[in-house]
Each structure stands twice: as structure tokens, then as C-alpha cells.
Amino acid sequence: MTFTTRPTLQGTFGMVSSTHWLASQCAMGILERGGNAFDAAVTAGFVLHVVEPHLNGPGGEVPAIVATAQDPAPKVLCGQGPAPAGATIAHFRSLGMDLIPGAGPLAAAVPGAVDAWLLLLREHGTLSLAEVLEPAIGYAAAGHPLVGRVGDTVAAVRSLFEEHWPTSAQLWLRDGRPPAAGEMVTNPAYAQTLRRLVEAGQAAGADREAQIEAARRAWGTGFVADAIDRFSRLPFQDSSGRPHAGLVTGDDLAAYSATWEAPTTLDWHGYSVAKTGFWGQGPVLLETLSVLDALDDPGAYDPATAAGIHAQVEALKLAFADREAWYGDGADVPAKALLSREYARERAALIGDRASAELRPGHPDGARPRLAAHVRPGAGRRADPSDATTGEPTVQSDGVTRGDTCHVDVVDRWGNMISATPSGGWLQSSPTIPELGFPLGSRLQMFWLQEGLASSLAPGRRPRTTLSPTMVHRDGEPILACGTPGGDQQDQWQLPFLLRHLVAGQSLQQAIDAPAWHTVSLPGSFYPRDMQPGVLVVEERLDEDVRAALRSYGHDVRISDAWSLGRLCAVTRDPGTGVLAAGANPRGMQGYACGR
């Protein structure tokens, strides 16, 4: 019997896995009350705003992949808000900027998460808005014991809050200090925001869908939009070191609505793997799987051997190079070519027995790749101030963050399934809007301030997000939903998990617990957008012989703590037996799965 940090849960009623135990248990409570997977996911999403405010918030975004019992085909719910109407390259250049700041009002996209959760509830949920928001309102109003990493985050930006962001200091530096681990913390303003959404819904009558639509209007054109519009006009210091006003307006919120769209999929080893479109980084995982197949080497699928890790890392580097050159919203993305077998063979031919330190985008359909000047060879780069060996997202003293995110997966007894990755709107991303109890996000930092690129900034365009939920189908039925926080590492940590579970047959918890690794030999999506050529970060638990062999391949191996890389959540369903399963990440001691 293989030891795991916790059991792989099995049952037939329902399963939840998320990055915080309170969100998981609240979602499970919704299933116990007769709600479905989508009711449960919405409940978890709003609870995560309260209990993991350093990792996501209502001012952020959420992409999700959904399969219903009535229609098992995967669909993408896009809750990634676009750049506001005033967000032009010319505006940022006029401020003397060549990169969008990593924190502060200027970096905010239009908030997308709340509208997306409410759209999901309206379209596929069964319970009322009041029922699904009750747990989040309760924790925000009455308090919850805070996880220690929230206080650590506040401590890291304490001087910024005290000197420049007084509304954030008022919320998070009560009695003049950061909150301690386990301290009961409340957010009365956010509790009131949620209550007002419920009241707006109830004023619309008894019809469930009408109530949800009324709450969406209160958010997009009512009191929430009004407060955001007023506050966004105030200048606050950002990571440029100077104060600037934001660009998000009430008109931007009024013009926005979350959307449904087709996923990007890859048929692979009898499975169909579904990701978001090329406006996100999700297709990187599909490209990588396709390239590994093109190597025609079974050893390339083993994420525990040096040869397997080497092949997977080199395939990831090639896919991430294509992300830089080709991925973006509204761009002419050669999607079919990027995922074709012919292109995979071209890319696989570049993988040899030496690690590459170069950024090597391909030429799908013979097209010439275009890279931002910031990432071209020889471009002057600032040193990355974050530690490449840490698996936990880092927060600098100026508020810049990397990779802070949450995740939730749910499957119910009827066969409904969802994988969702909420993020953005972190407590350290922008000053708190006092009457609402939350800040805006900073996702605009993923755009380039250079014309003609796939991810160039333009009003109405979605930033090329790192948020990357995954769903796997077999014979047309959903069998697996998974995902992880981690910014540029999200698809990197999902790759070995999927190889272990789908190819090697490991249980969910075995695959989650196994030693993890990732490369940072790619341009970062977060400010200051730097790259560390040839660097491969591995957990200390990875066998020393494997580490030595990786160095012999030419990888610059950096050792991280034994349990530090990866934040995976996963649920499964066997369509033949109806048996459900779930696993959750032990790293950081927050992730939790529950079910029966």
C-alpha cells in the first residue's frame, strides 16, 4: 500500500476539492441541502473571497469549465474581464511606462468574477441567491479564523498600506498590526455588499432567475459600479513608484457580461482534454501533451525519471515560447496549426539531450513569430526580485505579487462537474474600496505596451490570463476536473499530475502528493515579466540521483522545500459505476477535499 498524506476520497453522493477547507465544507453543505455542483461551486467561490483574500477577491476574475448531466460536452465560462475603455498603450506611454504596473489602480481590468458566478448560478444552479451567499455573508460578518499566510501577506505590504493605501490599512491593520494566524477577522463592508445584492434580488420578486439578474444589475450598473467608478478616479501609488488614478469606470462595468464559449480540446490517449481558448495559457498544456506524443518515447511520459522530466520540461518551454508569440485575445491565433500533429513533430525535433536556455517560438503555418522587445535575446532585463526556489507565491514590499490564485472542483451524484480557478482582486493588488470591502485586480499587467503583438494592450481585449482550469472526458463523458494555483506554473504542475493519474494509473492523492517541479525558463506573466534561462525548480524530495542526472542534461537545478510546489485539486467520476473521487493538496496545509 502506497502512503499518501490523506486518502483519495470515494463515494457516490458528491465530491468537492478546493484550496481552503472552509470553502470545501461550505460547498459540501450545499450539496447536502439538495443543491447541485454549480450551486456548490458558487458558494465556494464567494467563501474563497472571504477566507483567501490574499489569493482572490470579488474584484478579480474566474474562468471555469463546466459539464452538465443534461449536456456533458465541456463549455467554458469566461469570467475574465477585459481592459477598460481608457486602457490604451498611448495612455501608459504618456505616463512614461514601458510595462504596466504589477499593483495599483492602473493595473485593474474590469472585474469579471462576480458576474460569472452569478451567470453560472442562473443558468445551471437550482438554489436561491440568498442560500448560496449565506456562508460567505456569515464569515464576512461574524468572522473566521484567519490562515497565517494572510497575515504574512499584510505584513509584507504594511508600509505601503500605512503610507499610501489608507483604506487597506483601515481594513487589514486593525490596532496597527497585521492579523495573526487563527485570529478572528471580519469584513463588515463586504458582508453588507453581499447582503445588498441579495436584497436587490429579493426586490425583483419571487422568481429565482429574476432575482439573480437583479443582483447582476446591482453589481454592473448599480451601487457596486457607482462605488468603483468614484474610487477609481482617485490617485494611489502603484508599483511604478508614483501615484496614478485607475481606468475602470461605471460604463466599463455596465458594458461587461460574463460569457459562455467553446473550449479548446485535444484528443489524447483515448481522452479529450479541455482548456480555455487562446486568450488564456491553457492550450500550453495541450501543446505540451501533443509534443510529448510526437517524441514517440514511452519514457517521456514518466515525471519521476530524469529522462522523463527532461522531455517534459523541454516540451513545456517550447509551448510557453509559443504562448509568448501567438496567444492572446482578439489576435489571429493559428490555433489549428499549433495543436496539429505536424507541428508537434516539428517542435519535438528540437528536443535533444541538452536543456535549452533559449526562447524558441515556432512558425505554425509558416508564420513568423513576434515577441515583445522585453523578452527578445539580449534585451536588458531587470533582475527578478522574487525567489525562484519558493513554491509559494511571493509578495514584494511594493505590492507586486506572482501567481496568487484559488481553485475549486465539484462533481455531484447527477454527473454535473465543474473546474474553476478564481483569482485576482487580491488584498495587496490595489487599495480597498471602503464601502465595498474589496479592491480591484491587477490582471492588466499581462498585456504588453507594444503594438502588433498577440497580447498587446487594447480596450475591450482580455488579458492573456494564467488561470487554467482543466476537464477531461472519455467517450463523451466528463471523468476528471482539476486545477491549481501558481501563475505560470499552473499547467506545469498539472502536466505531471495528469501523466501520473491517466497514464501511470496512480490514485488522485498519489499523483498530487508526488514530488513536483517546474521551469522558470520562460518570460513571466507577472511584473516585471522576467525570465531565468535554464532554471528548473524541484522539490527536495525528488531523488538525488534524478537531480544529478537533470544537471547532466544541462538544467540549472534549484532546490525548493520538500513540500512546496503545486496546489492541485481534483475530482473524478466513473460514468460506468457512478463512483466519485476527490483528492486535495497537502502543501501549505489549506487544501481540503470532502465528499461521500
Query: How do strand 243-244 and strand 236-237 relate by DSSP bridges?
Result: antiparallel
DSSP per position, 120-162: HHHHH--S-HHHHHHHHHHHHHH-EEPPHHHHHHHHHTHHHHH
Among residues 22, 16, 21, the alpha carbon closest in space to that of 35 is found at: 16
567: in domain: no
565: in domain: no
**Cα dihedral across residues 424, 393, 323, 505: positive or negative:** negative
pLDDT at residue 445 is higher than 60: yes
List pLDDT tens digits, range 513-552.
999 999 999 999 988 888 999 999 999 999 999 999 999 9
pLDDT of res. 383: 44
Phi, psi dihedral angles at 469 (to 5 degrees): -70, 160
pLDDT of res. 530: 87
pLDDT of res. 379: 59
367 secondary structure, DSSP code: P
396: in domain: no
Report, as an integer, the average pLDDT of 455-477.
97
Among residues 194, 253, 196, the alpha carbon closest in space to that of 229 is found at: 253
Burial class (CB in 10 A: 0-12, 13-18, 19+), 176: exposed
pLDDT of res. 487: 92
What angle (nearest 5°) sits at the alpha carbon of residue 583, between those of residues 582 and 584? 135
pLDDT of res. 449: 97
Dihedral of the CA atoms 503, 11, 145, 212 (nearest 10)?
100
Identify residue 199 by its one-letter amino acid code: E
Identify residue 489 by its one-letter amino acid code: Q
Burial class (CB in 10 A: 0-12, 13-18, 19+), 368: exposed
Among residues 324, 369, 327, the alpha carbon closest in space to that of 531 is found at: 324
Among residues 63, 66, 64, 65, the alpha carbon closest in space to that of 81 is found at: 63
379: in domain: no
pLDDT of res. 578: 97
Query: In whole angstroms, what is the distance from residue 64 CA to residue 437 CA?
Result: 25
Burial 98-112 (b: 16+ CB within 10 A, else e): ebbbbbbbbbbbbbb
pLDDT at residue 1 is higher than 80: no
Report, as an integer, the average pLDDT of 454-463.
97
List pLDDT tens digits, range 122-141.
999 999 999 999 999 999 99
Q: What percent of the chain has pLDDT over 70?
A: 95
pLDDT of res. 391: 38
Query: In whole angstroms, what is the distance from residue 519 CA to residue 550 CA?
Result: 12
428: in domain: yes
pLDDT at residue 303 is higher than 90: yes
pLDDT of res. 291: 98
Q: Which three cell numbers stand for residue 416?
A: 454535473
pLDDT of res. 116: 98
Asked if 455 contacts 280 with a C-beta cutoff of 8 angstroms, the reply is: no
Query: In whole angstroms, what is the distance from residue 542 CA to residue 539 CA?
Result: 6
Lowest mean pLDDT among 2-11, 75-84, 91-100, 392-401: 392-401
List pLDDT tens digits, range 336-389.
999 999 999 999 999 999 999 999 999 999 999 999 999 877 654 454 444 333
Could you tell me which residues come within 8 angstroms of residue 511 by beta carbon, excluding any fewer than 6 positions away? 496, 497, 498, 500, 501, 504, 568, 570, 583
pLDDT of res. 330: 80
List pLDDT tens digits, range 266-279.
999 999 999 999 99
Could you tell me which residues come within 8 angstroms of residue 364 by beta carbon, excluding any fewer than 6 positions away? 322, 326, 334, 337, 338, 340, 343
Phi, psi dihedral angles at 149 (to 5 degrees): -70, -25
Asked if 461 contacts 256 with a C-beta cutoff of 8 angstroms, the reply is: no
pLDDT of res. 528: 85
pLDDT of res. 173: 97
49: in domain: yes
Report, as an integer, the average pLDDT of 4-29.
98
What angle (nearest 5°) sits at the alpha carbon of residue 158, between those of residues 111 and 102? 40
Supply the range of the domain harboring residue 186.
33-261+401-446
What are the distances in angstroms from CA 82 to CA 74, 263, 279, 489? Answer: 23, 19, 11, 23
Asked if 219 contacts 115 with a C-beta cutoff of 8 angstroms, the reply is: yes
List pLDDT tens digits, range 43-87.
999 999 999 999 999 999 999 999 999 999 999 999 999 999 999
Query: How do strand 236-237 and strand 184-185 relate by DSSP bridges?
Result: unpaired
Say how many C-beta atoms besides its own lie within 10 A of residue 534's C-beta. Answer: 17
Average pLDDT over the chain reads 94
What 377-383 contacts at long range (C-beta under 8 Å, 24+ apart), as own/partner pairs, is: 381/528, 381/530, 381/531, 382/528, 382/530, 383/530
572: in domain: no
Query: In whole angstroms, what is the distance from residue 65 CA to residue 546 CA?
Result: 35
Report, as an integer, the average pLDDT of 562-576.
96
Q: How many domains does the chain have?
A: 1
Query: In whole angstroms, what is the distance from residue 516 CA to residue 345 CA?
Result: 27
Three-state DSSP state, 503: helix
Q: Which three cell numbers stand for residue 104?
A: 495599483
Name the band, by pLDDT with cuts 50, 70 and 90, for residue 557: very high
pLDDT at residue 230 is higher than 90: yes
